[in-house]
Amino acid sequence: MNYFSMANGNPGTGGYAFSYQDTVGSDVCLDGCPASGATCTPAPATSMLCTHGTLLANPAPYTAFGGGIGFNLNQMMATSATPTAISPFAATGSGISYTVSSLPANGLRIQIDHGGSANQYCANVTTASGVIPWANLTLMCYNTPPGAALTGPPSDATQIEFQMVTVASAGTGDFCITAVGFAP
């Protein structure tokens, strides 16, 4: 089951974890995904969520963005096969604190939305742990110059994502999220 509750470390009220990837060839999976063949690699006991991904080369801007893992912040656990609604969550504090087991060779970015997936604010991650202040999270952080920055915690966030980015050559990435929260 991929429900990520407050007890497991979700800084929201709880929600389902997911993997995602571009539609041009990258392949990313969540905990227990095949490392090779039919062998599955379970997440270490100290981790919240883990991923493995094969990332397509990105020869032209935005044709391949890579992929990653994320989780919803305010979603009840389903009691049937019908998915539950994802509701907005008011983030708090000064930013997003995080710890990952390692940084993928091609890079990592953290994303949070402000009012839905059309408004993804992101920041590149350069260390395995730290705090990303709200003002460092920008729309289209991968552009030069990036878009507008958050001015404070989003009051209507629905998810947080950790995205492995693509570069000029193809690659793989593996990492686990060991802590994530809203910094005081």
Mean pLDDT, residues 98-106: 88
Mean pLDDT, residues 50-69: 73
Convert the pLDDT of each residue in 20-36 to its tens digit. Answer: 887 777 777 776 554 44
Classify residue 21 as exposed, middle or buried by CB count within 10 Å of its CB (0-12, 13-18, 19+). Answer: buried
Mean pLDDT, residues 90-95: 97
Q: Which domains does the chain have, with CATH numbers?
A: 3-79+90-183 (2.60.120)
Say whether 77 sits in a helix, a strand or coil. coil
Mean pLDDT, residues 1-27: 83
Mean pLDDT, the chain, as a whole number? 83
Would you state the pLDDT for residue 42? 53
